[in-house]
Amino acid sequence: MPFTEVADRVWVSRYPWFDVNVTVVGGQRGLVVVDTHASAAAAREVVADVRALGAGEVVAVVNTHEHFDHTFGNATFAEEYDDLPIHATDEAAARTVTAGERIMEQYRASTDPRAAEVLATAILPANRTFSSAAVIDIGDRQVELVHPGRGHTAGDLVVRVPDADVLLAGDLVEESAPPAFGADSFPLEWAQTLDLVLGLLTPASVVVPGHGAVVDRGFVEEQCDGIRAVGETIRDLASRGVPLAEALASAEWPYPTESLEDAVRIGYAQLPRGARRLPLV
């Protein structure tokens, strides 16, 4: 069966396309599905896999952020389950259509064999939003949604299942690749956001990243240290007047430099002007 139970009534399926995780949380009132995959066709596979669990009906969906590999199945779930509430932060919901249209533009110029199914997908933003925290009541347990701050995007949320000591981190944590510092990330704030996430964890917590294998608190601590090093290095280079064009080659980084081009560019732009000194001549 595609879904594996990682804690009491918390199942994770790791789908090969984008190595993305979809999680199901069960309670007396039904199931909460967290993230919906990258196309309508892919979401239909997820729906079939959820039904194969035989654990109940889906009563809510959560998007951990707005990127298409986590939201493009929303419309499929809404069609399969009438009036389904789809939860996300205000920021993520507001950016879902724009982010989706941007990725569709890329696929229109792509030879990717799955481009057609992405382009055939209807983009549906969340219809239940919040700014800082919310709770989904599924009977015998509460599913907590927390916006810990900006990092991978402006609207990241984490999902906490307190009675099972499980936290679903979305792309604030990634196991199968370095952290994704995209064009809409916040490299100078991400580590502080993960500090708050770490405050929600115990030594025994099960952590489900957005992509890759299930991890533990120690993994999150290590990734937080790496992300903090990226932010501190950007600040140091800018404060010493190192030009943006030379920054990647002027320091040692915890991740491959090809994955940090956006991080450095955005970091330089986000620093206050006074923190970017021109070199003395």
What pLDDT band is residue 278 in, cutting at 50, 70 and 90? low
The secondary structure of 225-267 as a DSSP string is HHHHHHHHHHHHHHHTT--HHHHGGGS--SS-GGG-HHHHHHH
Give residue-wise pLDDT tens across range 114-163: 999 999 999 999 999 999 999 999 999 999 999 999 999 999 999 999 99
Q: Is residue 275 over pLDDT 70?
A: no
What pLDDT band is residue 197 in, cutting at 50, 70 and 90? very high
As to burial, measured by CB atoms within 10 angstroms (0-12 exposed, 13-18 middle, 19+ buried), residue 28 is: exposed
Considering all CA atoms of the chain, what is the largest pairwise distance in Å, rounded to the nearest integer? 70
Specify if 229 maps to a domain.
no
Range of the domain at 27: 4-215
In the chain, what percentage of residues exceed pLDDT 70?
A: 96
The secondary structure of 67-136 as a DSSP string is -HHHHTTHHHHHHHSTT--EEEEHHHHHHHHHHHHHHHHHHHT---TTHHHHHTPPP---SEEESSEEEE
Specify if 278 maps to a domain.
no
Give residue-wise pLDDT tens across range 72-115: 999 999 999 998 999 999 999 999 999 999 999 999 999 999 99
CA proximity to 156, closest of 92, 244, 107: 92
Please, what is the average pLDDT of the chain?
Answer: 96
CA proximity to 277, closest of 228, 252, 268, 267: 268
Q: How many Cα neighbours within 13 Å face the side chain of 46?
A: 36
Q: How far apart are CA 246 and CA 267, in angstroms?
A: 14
CA proximity to 172, closest of 125, 208, 134: 208
Specify if 244 maps to a domain.
no
Residue 185 near residue 151 (C-beta atoms within 8 A): yes
Give residue-wise pLDDT tens across range 154-175: 999 999 999 999 999 999 999 9
Specify if 238 maps to a domain.
no
Specify if 186 maps to a domain.
yes
CA proximity to 170, closest of 191, 146, 187: 146
Q: What is the per-residue pLDDT for 272?
A: 79
CA distances from 137 to 150, 186, 270 (A): 26, 31, 38
* DSSP conformation class of 276: S
| Count of domains observed in the chain | 1
Give residue-wise pLDDT tens across range 218-254: 999 999 999 999 999 999 999 999 999 999 999 999 9
Q: What is the per-residue pLDDT for 83?
A: 83
Specify if 36 maps to a domain.
yes
pTM, two decimals, is 0.96
Specify if 261 maps to a domain.
no
Average pLDDT over residues 12-20: 97
CATH of the domain at 13: 3.60.15.10
Specify if 279 maps to a domain.
no
What pLDDT band is residue 276 in, cutting at 50, 70 and 90? low
